[in-house]
Amino acid sequence: MLNNIGIPGLLLIAVVVLVLFGRGKVSSLMGEVGKGINAFKKGVKEESEELENKTAEGAVDVTPKSKDKV
């Protein structure tokens, strides 16, 4: 069903949404969507950094001590 929507169809949908909700409402909605995306990216970044720090803290040095046998 959605495969048949082309550029003209998307433009028509955008115009209808703009007429129904008005420019101010659509603009504020897109601003909120942008803030949500930024918050999601920040959360993912912080979680990956936290996970990386946990693995770095739990790491143990397993390299053997070098003994000189000459």
pTM metric for this prediction: 0.52
Q: In a 3-state reduction of DSSP, which class is residue 66?
A: coil
Please choose, from the candidates 20, 61, 1, 34, the residue with its C-alpha nearest in 3D space to the C-alpha of residue 42: 34
65, pLDDT greater than 70? yes
Q: Which residues contact 29 (CB under 8 A, 6 or more apart)?
A: 21
Residue 39 located in a structural domain: yes
Residue 42 lies in a domain: yes
pLDDT tens, 4-49? 778 889 899 989 988 988 888 888 888 999 999 999 999 999 998 8
Neighbours of 2 (CB within 10 A): 5
Domain total of the chain = 1
Residue 35 lies in a domain: yes
pLDDT at 53: 79
Average pLDDT score over residue span 37-62: 84
